[in-house]
Structure 1
């Protein structure tokens, strides 16, 4: 397979690496895997044997879904520590995606097994007005989870810095547009009896009273859609008024459990 001069033709290199000739040409154009020699007259590409490990690395990371530009930066990184950090970060991303896929598959299997009646968990409740520290912004639905976590962390830090104790779990109020248009106004709040000094995004806020139909979700956030569907079914069957926004309370947060896969009990209510 290896020629007398130590080079491999593009065909031999393709067979040795399981990278198609089309892929090798594309990687050459991108500067990702440049042949050791290109005949100026014929354009034939030839590769050195010591390029085989690089080709194998590219193939493995492509199997893991790493974009070509990231692979290029990885191969160009001379610092082993920096290279290992990049690899570790990508592997962590792949593992997170696999976990999300597992949760999605589990949810689909649960749906195929048939719906379970959760309406017995619904409670009608009047929630009084409370003073709170809050952050209000227009958010995209796709960014909502990260935004929520950041907002709760910021609110908690501000309250601690001002020596103000929370009087209840954090909550969120979401305009209908967050769900119907995937972009809308959202408020994250932490109840507190004492007043706070507004700083940055954090303001003093009066959470209005509400009559709500409430259901508690116990499980990973990725499976909350089933709880919302059950709550919506209850509201429809019992003709409960639903003029107000969605309101959530986060009964257990990241500070309370080290394992996000264990689920976050969360109450979800629709205001009337």
Structure 2
């Protein structure tokens, strides 16, 4: 089943900012399925998520837009693979770290990708130590290192799963409010350098991302598509929980991240 979503929601599904999506529409690279004649509002289909993720991955590899278009519009495998091969050879000479993105791209192009396992969960309200900031997407890695470093320092001895909330603007504008948090007891005393924040309870659709963050946007795309097709989206930021993160294990292949998408209620799915 395919649903249509607003450009803002499609931005959250694909990690492409609204500005970028508008540009891709203007140049004919990724057009919405409909544009309201009076308001100009764009809507995208969830069946466009994979194409958007493919474009995003190619642009992460700094592939020129003309080559991206050739890959997206290629009607046969060999033509697509030839364009990819030429660019990947150039990138491998420049940056060794692009190999992870290359692997992710090839997996994205592989047919028969597994269906995401989505669970529904009610998370009660809770209090947490928090570190907040207006963070650019490109700076999220260093910022999280700083924020969770502070939380780990003041939260020594607290056994709880840390996480973070991400505002809509973080996705749609490539920068927005992020709150890193570590749950604490309701009567927890304040600590220097962190806030005491109260996170509201609510229903969430939850998917687990296993391994490094190279393919993290694929989990977002699959979970967001599921929510758009089967659930009613609730207002509020997306949450990420980090049962196993960089501070727990040395190998990114062992990371476990839970993406929690706010929904109005648990849907009744008919089999």
TM-score, length-scaled by structure 2: 0.59
Q: CA RMSD in A?
A: 2.1
Any residues of structure 2 matched to 1:244-259 within 5 Å, and which?
244-259=236-251
**Structure 2 residues without counterparts, runs of 5 or longer:** 1-91, 264-271
Residues 230-272 of structure 1 show CA distances to partners (whole Å, capped at 9, x for unaligned) of: 1011112103324221100011122221223x24210001113
Query: Which segments of structure 1 move beyond 3 Å, counting only runs of 4 or more?
Result: none
Q: Give SS of 1:146's match.
A: helix
- Select 2:141's aligned residue among 145, 166, 169: 145
2:160 paired residue number: 168
CA contact 1:103–1:223 (8 Å) conserved in 2: no
1:110 paired residue number: 107
- Tell me the CA shift for residue 149 of structure 1: 1.8
- Select 1:123's aligned residue among 119, 123, 135: 119
CA contact 1:159–1:196 (8 Å) conserved in 2: no
CA contact 2:245–2:257 (8 Å) conserved in 1: no
2:231 paired residue number: 239
Number of equivalenced pairs: 171
**Structure 1 residues without counterparts, runs of 5 or longer:** 1-93
- Tell me the CA shift for residue 115 of structure 1: 5.0
1:133 paired residue number: 129
Residues 56-113 of structure 1 show CA distances to partners (whole Å, capped at 9, x for unaligned) of: xxxxxxxxxxxxxxxxxxxxxxxxxxxxxxxxxxxxxx99x523x1111111111111
| Aligned equivalents of 1:168, 1:104: Cα separation in 2 | 32
Q: Larger C-alpha radius of gyration, 1 or 2?
A: 1
| Aligned equivalents of 1:172, 1:155: Cα separation in 2 | 12
> Are positions 1:271 and 2:262 aligned together?
yes
TM-score, length-scaled by structure 1: 0.59
Q: State the structure with bigger RCO (CA 8 A, min sep 6), 1 or 2.
A: 2
- Tell me the CA shift for residue 169 of structure 1: 0.8
2:18 paired residue number: none
- Tell me the CA shift for residue 159 of structure 1: 2.1
1:180 paired residue number: 172
1:32 paired residue number: none
- Tell me the CA shift for residue 226 of structure 1: 0.8
